[in-house]
Structure 1
Amino acid sequence: MNTLSVNLENCFGIGKLKHDFEFGAKKSNTFLIYAPNGTMKSSFAKTFDALSKNDSKNPPCDRVYRDKQSKYEVLVDGSPIPGESILVVNAEDSTFDASNKISAFIASKELKERYDTIYKDLEAQKTEFIKRLRTVSQSTDCEGELIGAFTERDGESFFDVLERVSLRLKDKVDKYSFRYNDVFDKKGNVIKFLDKNEKILDQYVNDYKSLLANSKFFKESDKNSFGTYQANELLKSIEDNSFFDAGHKFILDDGTEITNSESLRQVVQDEIAKIINDAKLKAAFEKIDKAIGANMELRAFQKVVERNNLLLVELKDYDAFREKVWISYLSEMKEHSEELAKYYESKKAELKNIIEEAKKEFVQWKKIVSTFNDRFYVPFKVLLTNQEDIILKQMTAKLEFEYSDSQEVAVRQKGEDLLKILSKGEQRAYFILQFLFEIESRRHSPNKSIIIFDDVADSFDYKNKFAIIEYIRELHNSDLFRIILLTHNFDFYRTIASRFALARPVVYMATKSNEKEIFLHIGAYRKDVFDHFLKNINKPKIFISSIAFVRNIVEYADSDHCSDYEILTSCLHLKENSYIIKVNDVYAIYVARFGKLVGKTIDFGDDNLIDFVFKTADSICDEQLVDEILLENKISLAIAIRLKAEGYLIKKLPDIDLEKITSKQTNELYQIYRDRFPESGSISVLDRVNLMTPENIHINAFMYEPLIDMSVFHLRDLYERVKLL
């Protein structure tokens, strides 16, 4: 990817933009674009993001005038750019999730093949086993339900559970005729019902236990009980009469002797019938049945318990009964269950070795996380909880975060919970982490990706801002990617240009015409603007623009009451002496304050300073192709606007003593004028003077951005309007 040709029309606010970006190791892997707010930054990023998604239903378009024909021709070395080769990084995008890309840079092909070979056979046997189990249980999800019933720790597989449960299987068990999900439903309606109606269920169980205690056959005590389950187990063990044929017999509490299995069965059935038909127990069941019937979603469950009331006793311990039911199902296919469990056991050692090796395959993962944890100043560390599953099962990464506030104990948090407690800047760092995963996954692609960074450092504190800058610099130096950095942060712009050592041809400043056409100019002001001013002080615009800067120096080095400061103030605000100050008077102050100017001359020293300011502003307005970037154009116009406005206000307020106004003279005059002439048609123009000019006149190192972002055309228009007052 050497040439990226962009030809856009009517794309999310971009009226027109045509430009070729020439990349390459001998040129640059990175282009930097400073775009003032509202120029093109977000529109450019949105256009590329739309192209990356290859979504024919939502292509780039004009966001207001949908009927306008849009063009979005983006070519790489003459061919249409593939959407998958584009990545737009926007730290405001909270929806971006690249967890599924982690396996792309940590998966080991050889280990995966070994793992798959073993699991292919295991999965085939499991599939057949599940078919049989589904027939027995009538469950809609045998695997998930079985794991849910018996799992003891996160990450247990079906085979882990089966291996453990197979030790509890029996040769003979009660068979349950109900459909599994009629009692253990997916939505959890039954357990919710049992919890909600615990009181009436307890009454039923207590009545049942009371009947057991008074039975001549069944018994209930504090420690043990002999109920219907135990009786049925007993019947199974003596159903062939061998117990009685050996001369044994049962003697009940009331003296009744039992000498054969049929007599015992009859006693048990009579006692069960006696319990079930008990009036009190029936009344308790009717309450439960009525409560179940009131819930439409429990109709299937109602039919089950109506067929067998005593299931309610078992359901008192829901989880234990669920396990019992599954053991019953598995016991029905005991031989198959034990066979599969043993086969899995025979493969466990080899699988364990593969998993241990897989855990060592995390060099790149550790590097990324180390990069993030070490560089970014955030109150959390990134953790990966399913390392081997990512490699061996190609599962999506499960990330957790260890949150620690100062000296407090670290607490594990999931991503969505973590975001609720992070600051805005910390959230942006979290989102950047997702993009790190995406970028790292692309390192292994045979094709280069174009990465559009959309103000990624905005809202970061300085520590994290430099962390992301350092990471992008590493990408820039790697030659694996092609990068376009978009920003409206002037400090970020200057830092990137300096740290990346970017040459002028790859550093741009964007401007937009009234027709919304975007132009990319060679980037300016990457170094000290004041040094540039001093070297070119003989140019009228720069001479005027330096007045405010030199006045700041005088104030810092001397005071705001010395004569030099007062003269320069009279150049920025109309005072009694403003109209008698010559350009040479101001230049003398420059020379006295800056040794670099000693011996240098200017060509316009005899001009009256105020007239010189207006003449220079007029010349800017007369330029057919005025430079939109130059600071000196904007500062000169701002000073001229201020002086013209004050001239108008002083004329309208002849009784005002200017000597009594010691600060913010323009605003003070404006407030008095507005109070006296509230209906004046000039107020709207004077409002704009107060809004647009202060920061452009009082220039210092922190005022670059508003100066550059301010449109020279707006200032030129305002100057022409003030002249008409």
Structure 2
Amino acid sequence: MNRLKIDLENCYGIKKLNVVLDFSVRKAFAIYAPNGSMKSSLAQTFKDLADGTTSKDRIFPARPCTRNIADESGALLSKESVLVIRPYDEVFGHTEKTSTLLVDAKLRKEYEQLNVDIDKAQDTFLKALKEQSKTKKDIATEIASTFTTSPNEFFKALLRIENELQTQRDAPLADIHYDTIFDDKVLSLLETKDFKTLIAEYTKKYTELLGKSTYFKRGTFNYYNAETVAKSLADNGFFDASHTVNLNAGQPLVITTQKQLVDLISREKESITNDKDLRKKFAEIEKLLNKNVTVRDFHAYLGDHEELLPKLADIPTLREELWKSYIKVRYPLYEDLITKYRAAEKRKKEIVAAANTQRTQWEAVIDIFNDRFVVPFKLTAKNRTAVILGEEPMLTLGFTFDDGHEQATVEKPTLMQALSTGEKKALYILNIIFEVEVRRKASQDTIFVVDDIADSFDYKNKYAIIQYLQDIDEDPHFKQVILTHNFDFFRTIQSRFVRYDHCLMANKNTNGITLDKATGIQNVFVKDWKINFFTNQRKRIASIPFIRNIIEYTKGEQDADFAALTALLHWKANSWQISHSDLDSMYNKVFGGTEVSPASSKTVVESIHEEAAACLNADTGINFENKIVLSIAIRLAAEQYMIDRINDSEFVDSITSNQTRALLSRFRTQFKNDTAAVHVLQRVALMTPENIHLNSFMYEPILDMSDEHLRKLYQDVNALNATLPKQTAVKPALA
């Protein structure tokens, strides 16, 4: 985009604005806008565009609003292409996308792929366990809770049982339905005193019977193990190959077929389970279960799996045995997951080490802030590695407060309580830098609308901001529209990087807003008015405060020419007598030369009022010289009026300083009932002092003054003078 076309109507007080900003040569425009003219309104309109919302007129919402902001082809700007930087927004902070400044794409991609590979293996493994256990619970949480003290340490749990699984020969409980036992209602029953007593009695009797068994041995070879052996031998063709099994039962017993072995196991099992006392214990357990209708499924299941009863005496151990059985059946998937996890963890450590050694754009942003801005704290990136690797979405800043004597690490809420408003604003600038650098990294074409970003900063930080705006200006993808009501800031950015012809001044009138080419940015007196002192009456009159200022600094207030020039800014007895010839002489004594004005015989006061009258019909615009001429004419006319009404020459002659203020104070006391006149004269005192006592180093106040307001005030003061009788002591020449 080389040209920005702005066509606005009824947008937040902007009645009308139609302008084209040409970025084809340079990429920054600076717009000086006096308070109340259009700055915030224009920024808000662009903010609406960036937010994708409609604009409006807040005071007159019924007025039709037009907002067309387009490029040279007529295409409307996209909301992504605009970023509005407000003077201060306490809420605005860096977003997740600013954390991309930390990303090493290659490392992060590899790290993420490691996680993808592990996730795939984990999903396959958990799906198999869900099928095996028939549970509806979260398996990863169940396993972690079973083998560790935390429900979140899934891989730690898997690694803990690795050796146990390797030595485990079979999976005796693999077909048991997990939820049948590990149901909240069942577990509550199992924890009751009555059930624990019955289980203990049953287990004691069962253990006793198992100890008397001919073939079974408690803890090593029970009938479940025997059935597993029989099935395994048959499945592997042991008996088909004419092999035999010798059992040690006091006397040798040779088993030649699977059926013989199964029948023997069955008879031995029945001799235990059919024991009268054991049956009695089981019946008592069933009776207790029958009383609780909420565990019917468990009751039914237990009837077919009586061998589980002894294990119910130790639920934590049963839980471990269940999961180890489920995993043992799916052991290849377990082994694959563990292998990939170990390999990934090893590579992750290498990637983390590499990430820790890298310097990222985040650090560069933080360095910019720490180096350029004067604040009582330093910043660090706390979780940079986690963000680089995608483990956390946003960077966390660390703050070290330094009061010049010692340092302390503080959290952001505590820091914000200790910072001044200016220091908080500096922290806000950090967030702006983050956002800019994200766009720079993405090579995203952007128009930055900068709304008095340096407002209320001290000079050190103000210059740091200007330096960063200059950095933005050097990026080929960025363009800037810098709005300000601070003329010193306006003047500074023009001297640093904004071309003079890209500096505009906003002028508000009844028809809307115009943006005019700026004038007088760099010492208007030396570069314009002094050059035209003898050819342009208005600029000649506007130069009077500057010449007086120079004499004050070089010769002092006692100099006769200083007093004469003061008489052209305050009404004195000799004000009407000072001619242009006198003014030429004073000018030539200060600057050298012999040039004279064409109107050398005319009085200066007469020219002041003539030029002020002409200013009433001048074109609207910045009008530096118009504003000064109007201000001088207003002051002279107002003081003439008060002196005439007060009619006390002794009092007037006694005034040695702050003449307007002294006259107004006397006038308000003497004519307190003349409220209309007092009101006009108070406006004079408020609006004109800084303009008349303008000097060559500071003339911002006059720019903030509305040209229309000064015109109206001049007319009002003249209306007061028109009520006076003809004066004989002085000859007024009022428009």
Q: Given that residues 32 and 490 in structure 2 are in contact (C-alpha distance below 8 angstroms), is that contact kept between their aligned partners in structure 1? A: yes
SS of 2:89's equivalent in the other structure is coil
2:656 and 2:395 map into 1 onto residues whose CA distance is: 64
In the other structure, the counterpart of 2:628 is 635
The separation in 2 between residues aligned to 1:525 and 1:432, in whole angstroms, is 30
Moved more, 359-368 or 370-379: 359-368
Contact map agreement 1:385 1:398 (CA 8 A) in 2: yes
Tell me, yes or no, if the aligned pair for 2:89 and 2:428 is still in contact at 8 Å: yes
> Residue in 2 aligned with 1:206?
none
Q: Are the equivalent residues in 2 in contact too, given 1:12–1:47 (CA < 8 A)?
A: yes
Structure 1 position 634, deviation (Å): 0.7
Partner of 2:467: 470
| Distance in 2, Cα, partners of 1:644 & 1:407 | 56
Which of 426, 435, 438 lines up with 1:441 in the alignment? 438
Report if the CA contact (8 A) 1:454-1:485 is conserved: yes
Deviations 1:291-325 (A, max 9, x none): xxxxxxxxxxxx9xxxxxxxxxxxxxxxxxxxx99
Q: Which amino acid aligns with 1:18?
A: N
Q: 1:668 to 1:229 in 2, by over 3 A?
A: farther
Cα distance change on mapping 1:177 and 1:593 into 2, 3 Å? same
Is 1:10 aligned to 2:10, yes or no?
yes
1:397 to 388, 394, 400: 394
Q: Output the amino acid matched with 2:38.
A: M
Alignment of 1:673-684 (within 5 A): 673-680=667-674, 681-684=676-679
User: Residue 294 of structure 1 corresponds to which residue in structure 2?
Assistant: none
Equivalence for 1:39:
37
TM-superposed deviation, 1:427: 1.3
In the aligned structure 1, how far is the partner of 2:514 from the partner of 2:682? Answer: 31
Residues 1:524 and 2:519 aligned together: yes
CA distance in 2, matches of 1:591, 1:511: 35
Distance 2:316 2:577 in 1: 103
The one-letter code of the counterpart of 2:506 is: A
Give, in angstroms, the shift of residue 394 of structure 1. Answer: 6.9
Distance 1:405 1:327 in 2: 56
Aligned residue for 1:572, secondary structure, equals coil
Within 2, Cα distance between the matches of 1:446 and 1:117? 26
- Does 2:683 align with 1:688? yes
**Size of the alignment, in residue pairs?**
603
Q: CA separation of 1:111/1:66 partners in 2, compared to 1, >3 Å: closer, same or farther?
A: same
Please report the TM-score for the alignment, with normalisation by the length of structure 1: 0.74
Alignment of 1:469-488 (within 5 A): 469-488=466-485
Q: CA offset at residue 237 of structure 1?
A: 10
Q: Give distance in 2, aligned partners of 1:234 and 1:561.
A: 120
* Range 77-86 or range 536-545, more displaced: 536-545
Q: Is the 8 A contact 1:163 1:345 kept in 2?
A: no
* Amino acid in structure 1 at the alignment position of 2:707: V
Residue by residue, what CA displacement relative to the aligned partner does 1:451-478 show, whole Å, maximum 9, x if unpaired? 1111111121111111111111122122
How much does 1:234 deviate?
13
Residue 518 to residue 346, structure 1, CA distance change in 2 (3 Å): same
Q: TM-score, normalization: structure 2?
A: 0.73
Q: Is the 8 A contact 1:545 1:632 kept in 2?
A: yes
Structure 1 residues 573-652: aligned runs within 5 Å: 573-595=570-592, 598-623=593-618, 625-626=619-620, 628-652=621-645
Equivalent position of 2:93 in the other structure: 97
Q: Measure how far apart 1:161 and its partner are.
A: 5.4
Q: Find the counterpart in structure 1 of residue 108 from structure 2.
A: 112
Give the superposition deviation at 1:669.
1.1
| Aligned twin of 1:196 | none
- Report SS of the residue matched to 2:9: strand
Opposite residue 50 of structure 2, the aligned amino acid is S
| Cα distance change on mapping 1:89 and 1:136 into 2, 3 Å | same
Q: Could you tell me whether the CA contact under 8 Å between 1:168 and 1:327 is conserved in 2?
A: no
CA deviations over 1:17-55 (Å, ceiling 9, x no partner): 11111113xx10111111111111111111111111223
Q: Distance in 2 between matches of 1:143 and 1:71?
A: 62
| Distance (Å, rounded) in 1 between the aligned partners of 2:149 and 2:612 | 84
Contact 1:400 1:412 in 2 (8 A): no
- Displacement after TM superposition at 1:579 (Å): 2.2
2:120 pairs with 1:124? yes
Q: Distance in 2 between matches of 1:89 and 1:409?
A: 35
CA contact (8 A) 1:166 1:341 kept: no
SS in 1 for 2:582: helix
Is the partner of 1:382 in helix, strand or coil? strand
CA contact (8 A) 2:144 2:157 kept: no
* Match runs of 1:289-688 below 5 Å: 333-334=323-324, 336=327, 343-393=340-390, 395-445=392-442, 447-500=444-497, 502-515=498-511, 517-532=512-527, 533-538=529-534, 539-595=536-592, 598-623=593-618, 625-626=619-620, 628-656=621-649, 657-680=651-674, 681-688=676-683
Q: Which amino acid is 1:590 matched to? A: Y
Contact 2:690 2:701 in 1 (8 A): yes
Query: Quick check: 2:102–2:384 contact (8 Å CA) kept in 1?
Result: no
Quickly say closer, same or farther: Cα 1:35–1:125, change in 2 above 3 A: same
**Matches for 1:47-196 after TM superposition, within 5 Å:** 47-55=45-53, 59-78=54-73, 79-127=75-123, 142=141, 162=157, 177-178=183-184
RMSD: 4.2
- Name the counterpart of 1:191: none
- Contact 1:7–1:17 (Cα < 8 Å) also in 2: yes
Q: CA deviation at 1:610?
A: 2.0
Question: What residue number does 1:293 align with?
Answer: none
Deviations 1:259-305 (A, max 9, x none): x9x99x99xx9xxxxxxxxxxxxxxxxxxxxxxxxxxxxxxxxx9xx
C-alpha contact (below 8 Å) 2:141/2:154 kept by paired residues: no
Counterpart position of 2:693: 698
Q: Distance in 2 between matches of 1:235 and 1:141?
A: 34
Structure 1 residues 137 and 19: CA distance shift in structure 2, 3 A: same
Matched-pair contact (CA < 8 Å) for 1:509–1:522: yes
In structure 1, stretches of 5+ residues that fail to align are: 183-217, 219-227, 247-259, 270-302, 304-323
* Partner SS, residue 420 of structure 1: helix
Q: Give the distance between the partners of 2:321 and 2:419, measured in 1 at CA.
A: 52
Letter in 1 for 2:58: R
In 2, Cα distance between equivalents of 1:399 and 1:46? 30
Conservation of the 8 A alpha-carbon contact between 1:452 and 1:483: yes
Q: CA deviation at 1:493?
A: 0.6
Distance in 2 between residues matched to 1:695 and 1:519, nearest whole Å: 25
Distance (Å, rounded) in 2 between the aligned partners of 1:643 and 1:77? 51
